[in-house]
Chains A and B, each alone.
Chain A
Amino acid sequence: MSVTVRIPTILRTYTGGQAEVAAEGATLADVIADLEKNHTGIAARVLDDQGKLRRFVNVYVNDDDVRFEQGLETATPDGAGVSIIPAVAGG
């Protein structure tokens, strides 16, 4: 499954400044593992020491927040857009 991943500004040092990169994987966990293969160090920024999503990282597969889906096991269908976004507050 090929997906497009939107990279937030603070992680673009790992992608040579690219805002979007391609990755492979049937689930979000696979996609992050594939990202790590091509952009070493990025996974440790997104995942904590236990391999879970860091609490201030929001990830969307298409328009769905993966915390409402299956977390790292959320399916990433072919052509999906994955967005990694720092959590922010407002109101």
Chain B
Amino acid sequence: MAAQTVASTTETTVDLGPAAALSCRECGHRVPLGPVFACEECFGPLEIAYDFSAYDAEELRKQIEAGPANIWRYAPLLPVPADVADKPNINPGWTKLVKADNLARELGVEAGKLFVKDDSGNPTHSFKDRVVAQAIEAARVFGFTTLSCSSTGNLAGAVGAAAARAGFRSCVFIPHDLEQGKVVMAAVYGGELVGIEGNYDDVNRFCSELIGDPAGEGWGFVNVNLRPYYAEGSKTLAYEICEQLGWQLPDQLVVPIASGSQLTKIDKGLQELIKLGLVEDKPYKIFGAQAEGCSPVSVAYKAGHDVVRPQKPNTIAKSLAIGNPADGPYVLDIARRTGGAVEDVDDEQIVDAIKLLARTEGIFAETAGGVTVGVTRKLIENGLLDPTKTTVVLNTGDGLKTLDAVAGTGLTATIRPNLDSFREAGLA
């Protein structure tokens, strides 16, 4: 399948593979591909519209299976040039889908039916590498030389690493009080890392203002003016899960919600696979997971609302602490359309779930993984999640980034270096 070069306007031509235009998710207004993110008509979010009309399902499946063991195996379905795998990028993805029988036993799920999609295996140990890899390619096409973002931590590290590999300057913005592990993991790549006195929503607001100011000219903000491209990276989670299940849809997915972008793009990816004929069309349910201390979408879901009232976050799950989630209304639509739900768990339940996943499957999840596992347990207890159906739970980051959350975990015993002491401690 050859790369498609799409004329985005009569004046310019950009090669972003099958991406044909930007389309407003609210009103459908279309504009040429470019570094813009909000609809000029209604402020709605712009997303990529594709031209997949030339694809044959069998040929496409073979091409994907012969592709590299990273997200670029799905290049024909992404807004990237066909030769993307030859360019300097961090090449994330193709992370493990772990059959979690030990966890299934604890949660009362039928053996062989529970899987953890473990995205801590990405280059900077979170799913953010997937989205940043997309943004890098868009930044190249649009001629940006500085990469930036507003971040709750994981994204800052992913941008720093990708910029280093691809030869961009990076300058990223984070709340000043993030977990030390995330600060170090963002700073080590040598770019500029700026703490903002405020929470994530304050950082986001600052970046949105910077982008409209001459000081931010020439800057590609991966999750602001490059957001339509960036967000598509989350589709690759859907593609991988289905391919790893033998080109089948899971029956149920449990996905964390911060802005809600990931969940909506996973749904978009599943719908694309169905329309392309790569998987058999059957019902699936998407469940959203939040922390109680930042649960605007869960609250709206339970109240039957279709708008999301912003909250001031207060939770240990800082990577999910977005009090004003831009894609919240779409998450509500998807949860209701698919027959899923949105649920939340408190900080104590998050820590319990981190430990549960670690001791049953050897996966050390960051707090967001504690949220999804904790919510899975709660959904089963509430009868909302069917324990006899194939279920995929996302772990989107590595526990080494949020060590504070499990700070009480430590030595079982301290003994003298002899066998008597070992026996006395009851360890034999």
A interface with B by C-beta (< 8 Å)? 6-10, 13, 19, 45-46, 54-58, 60, 63, 65, 67-68, 83, 85-91
**Contacting residues, chain B, for A88 (C-beta < 8 A):** 37-38, 204, 207-208, 223-224, 227, 326
Contact B208 A19 (CB under 8 A): no
Most chain B C-beta atoms within 10 Å of own C-beta, residue among A6, A58, A83, A89: A89
**Which residues does chain A contribute within 8 Å of B213, judged by CB atoms?**
19
Interface CB pairs A-B, < 8 A, 5: A9-B212, A58-B205, A65-B201, A86-B208, A89-B322
**In the complex the two chains form, is A85's CB within 8 Å of B261's CB?**
no
* Residue B307, interface by CB 8 Å: yes
Task: Answer whether A89 and B201 are a contact pair too, CB < 8 Å, given A56-B42, A58-B324, A67-B309.
Answer: no
Knowing A8-B212, A58-B205, A85-B208, the reply to whether A91 touches B259 (Cβ < 8 A) is yes
Interface flag for B122 (CB, 8 Å):
no
Majority secondary structure, A binding face: mixed
Quick check: is B329 within 8 A (CB to CB) of the other chain? yes
Interchain CB contact under 8 A, B38 and A10? yes
B381: Cβ under 8 A from any A Cβ: no
Q: Nearest CB to that of B152 among chain A residues? A: A91
B113 → chain A, closest Cβ, in Å?
Answer: 29
Interface string of B359-396 (1 = CB under 8 A from A): 00000000000000000000000000000000000000
Assembled-state Cα–Cα distance A54/B227 (Å): 20
Docked Cα-Cα span, A40 to B204, in Å, equals 29
A89 touches B209 (CB 8 A): no
CA distance A19 to B39 in the complex (A): 18
B155 proximal to A (CB < 8 A)? yes
- Which of A45, A58, A60 has the largest number of chain B CB atoms within 10 A? A58
**B367 smallest CB distance to A (angstroms):** 13
Q: What is the distance, in angstroms, from B268's C-beta to the closest C-beta of chain A?
A: 14
Is B258 among interface residues, defined by CB-CB distance under 8 A? yes
Which residues of A sit under 8 angstroms from B150, Cβ to Cβ? 90
B235 touches A (CB below 8 Å): no
List which B308-333 residues lie within 8 A (CB) of chain A. Answer: 309-310, 312, 319-320, 322, 324-327, 329
User: In whole angstroms, how far apart are the Cα atoms of A29 and B155 in the complex?
Assistant: 36
Q: Is B250 an interface residue (CB 8 A)?
A: no
Specify which of B37, B205, B260 is in contact with A83 (CB 8 Å cutoff).
B205
